[in-house]
Structure 1
Amino acid sequence: MNVKLRRINEDDLERIIKWRMDTDITKWMNTDPTLTIKTQKEWLKNIQNSQTVEYWMIVVNNQPAGIINITDIDKIKKESSWGYYIGEKSLRSLQLAMYLEWNLYDYVFDVLKLKRLYNEVLSLNEGVIKLHQLCGSKVEKVIKNHVIKNNIEYDVTIMSIIDTVWKELRSSKKYDFIKFEMER
C-alpha cells in the first residue's frame, strides 16, 4: 500500500463535497452539512491561511481516498485536536486507519512538538473508539447529549494521547512511514 498525504487544493473540492455529504460519512460526524463549491472555496482559503489547522488529502495507490486534519492547534498549551475519514469505501482498511493514526502521532509530537492530541468521537461509534484505543489513545470522558443532529442528542467520547505515552508505545508498533506534505 502506497500512502501519501498532500495538501488539499481547489481540484479536490468537488470530491470532498461528495464525501462529506455522504450519509455513510456524516452519520459519524458532529454535523450534516450542505456544502457548495462556493462555500468550499471559502473554506479552502480559510484553512490555507490558518495557523491553527492543517488538512491533507489522503492518497492511496495514487487515488484520493479521504481527508486527515489537525485542528485547534494551540502552541501555548501544546495540544491539538484531529480527525479523518476515508471517503472511498474500497480503500478503507484497519491497516490504513492504524498507519494514518500512528503517523499522525509522529507528526504532532515530533514535528509540531505538541504534548497532547485529542479527538471527539460520537459515543455510538464503538468501532472507532476501539481503533483509537488500539492505537494508544485513552478515553478521558463522555459528554452526554453534546451533539444535536436532526433533533437527536448524541453523547460524545473525548479521547487523547500524550507524547510520553506515544514514545513508549511507538517501538512496539510496526508501520510504514507516511510523509506529511508541509507546503500549503
Structure 2
Amino acid sequence: MIEKRQVSAAAFGNAIRSINGNRDTAQAFAFRNSGTDLTVSTNNADSVYLNVPDAAEGARGVVSTASQTFAGSKTFKDSVVANKAILVGAEGAANSTVQVEGSIAMAIKTISANYTAAATDNTILANTTSSAITLTLPNPGTFAGRIYTIKKIGSGGIDNQLTISPAAGTIDGGSNYVIYNDWTYVTLQTDGSNWYIIKK
C-alpha cells in the first residue's frame, strides 16, 4: 500500500546549505577530466565539477580509447587479448606481433611415467631410466600453433623408449613418434589438425 502525503516546498528551501563553498543558489553538476586524481571542485558560485581525469603514468582515472601509459604493477586474473602487437621490456611500438627486449622464461617439467601434455606445458623432460614412457599430445583442434619441446633424458637406453602419441591427428603423417636414444629431443607444432616436427 502506498500512502500519499503533501510536503511543503518550504521544507526543501535550505536543505543543502553549502557544496564546497557554493551556497544559496541552484547548482549545476558537470563532469570534467582535469587534474591528476578524482576530485570535486566548484566555481564558487553555481557549478559543481566532478573531475575524473584520464588515467596516465602519474594520474589515476578512466581508461579511454586513446593511447595511454600506466604506472605500477597490474595483475589480470583472466586472459589478455591484444589485437595488434605486444612489446615487452622497452617503450615504443613493437616491430613484430610480439617483440621481447630481454630474456624469456618458459615452463619446463620432468616426468618419469606416462603423461598427457597440458596447456601449461612447454618443455617436457621424459626420464626413462626406470621404464619406457608414453607421452600423449592433446587433441589440437582448439589451439592451432601450439608448440611442445620433448626430450628423453636419463639412462634408459634404447630398451626404455619414449613414445609420443597424438590424441588426434598424426605426427608427420605417422601414428606416433618414438625416441630411442637418451638426450635426444624433438620440437612439435600443430596446425590445429595434425602435429609436425619442427626441430630434432
TM-score (norm 2): 0.23
Please tell me whether Structure 1 or Structure 2 has the larger radius of gyration of its CA atoms. 2
* Greater RCO, CA 8 A, separation 6+: 1
Would you tell me which structure has more helix in proportion to its own residues? 1
Give the TM-score, by structure 1 length. 0.25
